[in-house]
Chain A
Amino acid sequence: MRYLLRRLGFFVLTLWAALTLNFFIPRMMPGSPLQALRDRTHNKLSPAALNSLLSQFGFDPHQNIAVQYVQYLKNMATGHWGISIGGSLGVPVRKLIGQALPWTLGLVGVTTVMAFLLGTVIGIVAGWKRGGLLDGIVPPVFVVTSALPYFWVALLMILLFATGTHALLPNDGNYTNGLTAGFSGHFIFDVLKHAILPGATILITAIGGWILTMRNNMITTLAEDYVKMGRAKGLPSWRIMTDYAARNAILPNLTGFAMQLGYVLGGSILVEYTFSYPGLGYLFYTSTTNHDLPLMQALFLVYTLAVLVCVLLADMLTAGLDPRTRDA
């Protein structure tokens, strides 16, 4: 119980720190949202209208900064995230995020989970058969792929599969323009076709790390006495591999995976930018270039929340899998 309270305290404190950074960074930096808004509306709105638009999300340049800060915290906590002052002027921020979220979860979320599962299985097998064919190929190849920059793999993919007049696959957007969204076979096929290249990019760059860490953890675990004990008892080797070695070897990776899942929302920026995929990352990129403060702040909150929730879940999962941590 004390453990849980301490974790919750940490949760709140981190969230507060993120929100505070998020409040002060844009306000201390040059470039005002008021000016950006004036440019965006082509000077058509009166100063009073501009100010009321800005104050809708708690940005009131004439107000005392402390009052602004308290108001801002209150708005963030109660879900009053304001309206966009960027490219989609006047649209509620929550609506924009709601529209982009499923695309990011569907593309980046699914591929991240796939990379983790595939990488873990390959790592387990490679670590189990030391000196085997797989173990000879795996480390050098994936040390190199894990160092490849995301966006470069993306460019390579585009060059190989999506340029020229006979392009095999589309290279931008989430589905063909003009197609009506719905649960028709044609639409789903089109969405999948658009997801192949960005998805493959993520898979290629993300899988290496999981394979390497899992292999190394496996090798360390296989030297433990309880594995020898399992062998001495004459257990079938697949049981030793899964129940004895892999179950323990995967523990250090769980927290990493949880954080990675949390980073899904924010980490997708480069991929979504390169493929113009309209998810949260692309939304965030456009919000920074447009000085769209309300959108940017809300997205930053969402990103931080995602990581925090995932880390908390991983803590609980680790406690479930590893009884030793429960007393700590």
Chain B
Amino acid sequence: MSTAAITSDAGPLDPTAGHHGALGRLTQAILRNRKATAGTVILLIVVFVAVFPGLIARDDPQAAIYDQSVGPSAQHLLGTTQLGQDVFAQLIWGTRLTLIVTVVVSAIATVISMIIGVTAAYVGGLTDRALSLLTDIFLILPTLPLLIVLASYLPPGSVTMIVVLTLTSWAFQARQLRSQGLSLRARDFLAAARVRGERTSYIILVEIIPTMTSLIVASFLGLSVFVVGFAAGLQFLGLGNSTELTWGTMLYYAQQGGALEAGNAWWALAPGAAVAFMGAGFALVNYAFDEIGNPALRPVRKRRARTTA
């Protein structure tokens, strides 16, 4: 389980905080927290590279037309692969698919965990027991082995990667959203909705879920940290589609080509560093999110530290 996901249980922001100038408030909160600023800048860079790779790297990432296994130079910033492809171009062009897989998996898994967790909490009774059991079972099943078994049997590719990672990653967040949902159950606004005669699905989707926005965002961020690493890990093991260009498949080829022992170590180091960079971006934002939601965790200012000492 991702460590950042574990740290994200600090609790939601005040749901009544209001939506007036939400964007302005968000910008302010991000600028005021150094970890949030760093994380956001990292993620913005990644998104920019994923959208406009052509602006940064002009070489064709797949064309094997250069000298083979040479180290970094002005011509090839990160050297070339064993086949003579430009590593820098591969890194830049590989960003897009890496980011898409991460975001899609985290988004779908968050939605699944949201629906299952909140339904279990709100409906209660037998439904709750069945859904909780399902969640617990998925929590216990060894994730990585299950991922590897599934990925080794399904046709390799991004779609498989997305399906497999989604199936194995929703449970932890579902459990958290359930306990949050339980604490909301007795609130007056839900009683009012029931009295109005709203349908259960309406109450869950329109009344409960919007009040949990911050926890849901935290779930998404926590999942992203986990998914970036796991997707790359699977592809590194050779379980991805080797014709697709992602950081994970770059690592796979670098390992197969013995990048560390002979020639160009940057071929293996650069994609790994990129995975770490993106993971750190998500982790920093996630951690800052905890601090914003739970003021006790915020860094102590020097002056206050002196007076309390």
A interface residue numbers (CB < 8 A to B):
10, 13-14, 17-18, 21-22, 25-26, 29-31, 130-132, 135-136, 139-140, 143-144, 146-152, 155-156, 158-159, 163, 206, 208-210, 212-213, 216, 219-220, 223, 252, 256, 259-260, 262-263, 265-267, 269-270, 273-274, 284-285, 288-289, 296, 299-300, 303-304, 307-308, 311
Contact = CB atoms under 8 A, between A and B. Distances in A.
B188 interface: no
Which 9 pairs across A and B sit closest by C-beta, in order of nearness? A209-B3, A152-B272, A29-B153, A131-B305, A131-B300, A147-B279, A266-B142, A303-B142, A147-B283
B69 to A, nearest CB: 14
Contacts of B116: none
A48 B272 CA distance: 48
29 contacts: A13-B133, A14-B137, A21-B141, A131-B302, A131-B305, A135-B299, A146-B283, A149-B228, A149-B229, A149-B232, A149-B272, A151-B251, A159-B268, A206-B3, A209-B4, A216-B10, A216-B290, A219-B296, A220-B296, A223-B296, A259-B139, A263-B143, A263-B144, A270-B237, A296-B149, A300-B145, A300-B146, A300-B149, A303-B145
Given A219-B297, A220-B296, A147 B142 contact: no
Contacts of B146: 21, 300
Contact of B283 (A144, A270, A274, A307): A144
B275 A152 contact: yes
B276 interface: yes
B101 to A, nearest CB: 14
Given A14-B136, A147-B280, A288 B233 contact: no
Interface of B: 1, 3-4, 6-7, 9-10, 35, 133, 136-137, 139-146, 148-150, 152-154, 225, 228-229, 232-233, 236-237, 251, 255, 260-261, 265, 268-269, 272-273, 275-276, 279-280, 282-284, 287, 290, 294, 296-297, 299-302, 304-305, 308
Given A131-B305, A266-B145, A289 B152 contact: yes
Nearest to A154: B272
B260 A155 contact: yes
B237 A285 contact: yes
Nearest to A9: B133
A166 B228 CA distance: 35
Given A155-B255, A307-B141, 5 more contacts: A131-B305, A143-B280, A158-B260, A259-B139, A259-B140
A149 B160 CA distance: 21
A29 B145 contact: no
B106 to A, nearest CB: 14
A307 B140 contact: yes
Contact of A304 (B142, B152, B237): B142
B60 to A, nearest CB: 26
A314 to B, nearest CB: 12
B287 A149 contact: no
B3 A151 contact: no
A197 to B, nearest CB: 13
B274 to A, nearest CB: 9
Nearest to A291: B152
A267 B297 contact: no
Contacts of A307: 140-142
- Chain B at the A interface: SS class: helix
A213 to B, nearest CB: 5
Contacts of B144: 263, 266-267, 269-270
B276 A148 contact: yes
Nearest to B309: A131
Nearest to A260: B1
Contacts of A150: 229, 233
A17 B282 CA distance: 33
A304 B141 CA distance: 6
A214 B299 CA distance: 16
A95 B295 CA distance: 54
A213 B233 contact: no
Nearest to A299: B145
A24 to B, nearest CB: 11
Nearest to A280: B145
Contacts of A284: 145, 148
Contacts of B287: 139, 143, 212
Contact of B142 (A25, A143, A148, A263): A263
Given A14-B140, A130-B300, A289-B152, A144 B284 contact: yes
B260 A159 contact: yes
Given A131-B299, A209-B6, A18 B141 contact: yes
A161 B44 CA distance: 34
Contacts of B228: 147, 149
Nearest to B272: A152
B6 A256 contact: yes
B148 A285 contact: yes
Contact of A146 (B3, B139, B275, B299): B3
Contacts of A155: 251, 255, 260, 268-269, 272
A26 B153 contact: yes
B297 A216 contact: yes
Contacts of A146: 3-4, 283
Given A26-B149, A159-B265, A213 B299 contact: no
Contacts of B149: 22, 25-26, 288, 296, 300
B113 to A, nearest CB: 17
Contact of A288 (B141, B148, B275, B290): B148
Contacts of A252: 9
A147 B140 contact: no
Max chain B C-beta neighbours (<10 A), residue from A206, A266, A289: A266
A220 B275 CA distance: 32
Contacts of A220: 10, 294, 296
B145 A269 contact: yes
